[in-house]
């Protein structure tokens, strides 16, 4: 049973309404200490932030007490169970009602918090979010969208789906495009985002049949939904400057994301080895300290940590399971920014209008279907 207490957070801040985030404090590989350290770091930069922390109070209370800046802005909600990384999503739906993850989503559902953050099991988090928050009207498959470091002027591209669902038909891919556009507008402040559809070549005859159908659909909605469609893009364009939103199915997107992370991590290791090699290069490292630091920050995947669940009634941010305090702070910052911009409501409105229009267009073009 979820033990619920009154929300004892001071809601008054310096002129603004405090934005409450619901935190699953038990998920993730590094445990509650990293999560509490992360939200504390995030709160230092955002004075309007407040938290409901879900998990075992006996573990969490001493961790919170150690962070002075969390006093008065952090409530602990005592729940006994924890979703394990190896639990099957379907199983957690049946037996997971007393978990920190379930409780964290519940606080968004009943309006106590503006967004939920979890480092836990992705499949379980998506399954619980779908059951409790429900899909937006008109959305068939929700997606996970991320910000990918890129060559573009704003420094990031939106990519989706990176793993909510391994399948996606042409209509799903259109919805991903619409959701990605909305995310790019709110998350990257781009008024008219450029959308690309991931394929194995940019020529029109290449790729799977459903991609050709999706390409036509996405092109047909560009004006109505106010984005630019640049056509097919390739893997090399994910960190490139050709498109702001990269649309793909969750299988391909997940492989691409993890390949990119793995490549970046291998290169960082090789760079460290190269600089540890000789005395001259060690002196160089000291001289180049700030440059190397700047470089590492620019490619540090922890600083852009956070996959956003798109297509639900409410904002859920999935942090990397291996996130440390820096990673948790990044995911918490992202959830805060999205909550602050009213992202969830704006996305819902956009999807409702665009999906209706698209469905109507398709029905008119294919009267026999």
Which residue ranges make up the site for its own copies (CB under 8 A)? 86, 88, 123, 149-151, 163, 166, 198, 200, 203, 205-208, 234-240, 248, 250-252, 254-267, 269-271, 273-275, 277-278, 280-281, 283-285, 287-288, 290-292, 294-295, 298-299
Q: Which is nearer to its own copies, 265 or 360 (CB)?
A: 265
Which two structure tokens, joined as six digits, stand for 319? 């942090």
Q: Which is nearer to its own copies, 269 or 356 (CB)?
A: 269
Which two structure tokens, joined as six digits, stand for 358? 């698209």
CA angle 105, 107, 108 (to 5 degrees): 70
State the nearest-atom distance from the C-beta of 165 to its own copies, in Å.
Answer: 10
Q: Which is nearer to its own copies, 63 or 164 (CB)?
A: 164
Please tell me the distance from the alpha carbon of residue 260 to that of residue 262, in angstroms, as a whole number. Answer: 5
State the nearest-atom distance from the C-beta of 312 to its own copies, in Å.
Answer: 20
Residue recorded with tokens 């005395």: 279
State the nearest-atom distance from the C-beta of 120 to its own copies, in Å.
Answer: 14
Q: Which is nearer to its own copies, 61 or 266 (CB)?
A: 266
Q: Which is nearer to its own copies, 225 or 233 (CB)?
A: 233
Q: Which is nearer to its own copies, 228 or 251 (CB)?
A: 251
State the nearest-atom distance from the C-beta of 296 to its own copies, in Å.
Answer: 9
State the nearest-atom distance from the C-beta of 260 to its own copies, in Å.
Answer: 5
- Residue 240: CB atoms within 10 A of its CB come to 17
Q: Are 186 and 229 in contact (CB under 8 A)?
A: no
Say how many Å lie between the first and final Cα of the chain, rounded.
Answer: 48
Please tell me the distance from the alpha carbon of residue 160 to that of residue 308, in angstroms, as a whole number. Answer: 9
Q: Are strands 115-118 and 245-247 parallel, antiparallel or unpaired?
A: unpaired
At residue 224, φ and ψ (nearest 5 deg) are -60, -40
State the nearest-atom distance from the C-beta of 294 to its own copies, in Å.
Answer: 5
How many residues comprise the chain?
A: 369
DSSP codes joined into one string, 148-181: EE-SSTTSEEEEE-SSS-S---HHHHHHHHHHHH
State the nearest-atom distance from the C-beta of 216 to its own copies, in Å.
Answer: 18
Please tell me the distance from the alpha carbon of residue 119 to that of residue 323, in angstroms, as a whole number. Answer: 7
Q: Among 4, 11, 5, 21, which Cα is nearest to 72's?
A: 11
Longest alpha-carbon distance in the chain: 75
State the nearest-atom distance from the C-beta of 28 to its own copies, in Å.
Answer: 17
Residue recorded with tokens 């704006």: 346
State the nearest-atom distance from the C-beta of 85 to its own copies, in Å.
Answer: 9
At residue 307, φ and ψ (nearest 5 deg) are -95, 130
State the nearest-atom distance from the C-beta of 226 to its own copies, in Å.
Answer: 28
Q: Which is nearer to its own copies, 289 or 359 (CB)?
A: 289
Q: Which is nearer to its own copies, 48 or 234 (CB)?
A: 234
Q: Which is nearer to its own copies, 16 or 265 (CB)?
A: 265
Q: Which is nearer to its own copies, 37 or 195 (CB)?
A: 195
Q: Are 53 and 8 in contact (CB under 8 A)?
A: no
Which two structure tokens, joined as six digits, stand for 356? 């209706």
């Amino acid at each position: 049973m979820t033990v619920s207490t009154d929300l004892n957070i001071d809601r008054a801040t310096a002129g603004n309404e405090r934005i409450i985030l619901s935190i699953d404090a038990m998920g993730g590989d590094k445990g509650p200490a990293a999560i509490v350290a992360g939200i504390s770091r995030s709160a230092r930069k955002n004075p309007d932030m407040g938290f409901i922390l879900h998990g075992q109070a006996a573990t969490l209370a001493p961790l919170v007490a150690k962070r002075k800046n969390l006093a008065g802005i952090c409530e602990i909600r005592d729940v006994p169970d924890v979703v394990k990384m190896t639990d099957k999503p379907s199983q957690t739906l049946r037996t997971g009602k007393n978990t920190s993850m379930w409780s964290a989503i519940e606080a968004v559902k009943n309006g106590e918090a503006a967004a939920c953050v979890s480092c836990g099991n992705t499949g379980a988090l998506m399954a619980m979010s779908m059951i409790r928050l429900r899909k937006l009207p008109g959305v068939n498959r929700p997606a996970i969208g991320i910000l990918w470091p890129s060559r573009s002027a704003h420094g990031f591209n939106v990519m989706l789906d990176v793993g909510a669902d391994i399948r996606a038909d042409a209509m799903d891919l259109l919805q991903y495009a619409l959701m990605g556009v909305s995310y790019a507008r709110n998350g990257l402040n781009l008024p008219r985002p450029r959308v690309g559809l991931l394929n194995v070549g940019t020529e029109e005859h290449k790729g799977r049949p459903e991609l050709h159908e999706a390409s036509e659909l996405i092109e047909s909605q560009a004006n109505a939904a106010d984005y630019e469609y640049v056509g097919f893009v390739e893997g090399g364009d994910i960190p490139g400057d050709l498109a702001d939103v990269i649309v793909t199915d969750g299988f391909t997107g997940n492989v691409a994301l993890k390949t990119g992370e793995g490549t970046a991590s291998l290169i960082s290791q090789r760079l460290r080895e190269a600089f540890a090699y000789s005395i001259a290069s060690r002196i160089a490292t000291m001289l180049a300290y700030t440059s190397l630091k700047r470089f590492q920050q620019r490619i540090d995947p922890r600083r852009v940590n956070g996959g956003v669940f798109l297509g639900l009634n409410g904002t859920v941010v999935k942090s990397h399971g291996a996130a440390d305090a820096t990673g948790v702070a990044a995911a918490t910052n992202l959830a805060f920014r999205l909550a602050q911009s009213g992202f969830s409501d704006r996305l819902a409105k956009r999807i409702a209008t665009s999906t209706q229009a698209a469905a109507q267009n398709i029905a008119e073009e294919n009267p026999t279907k």
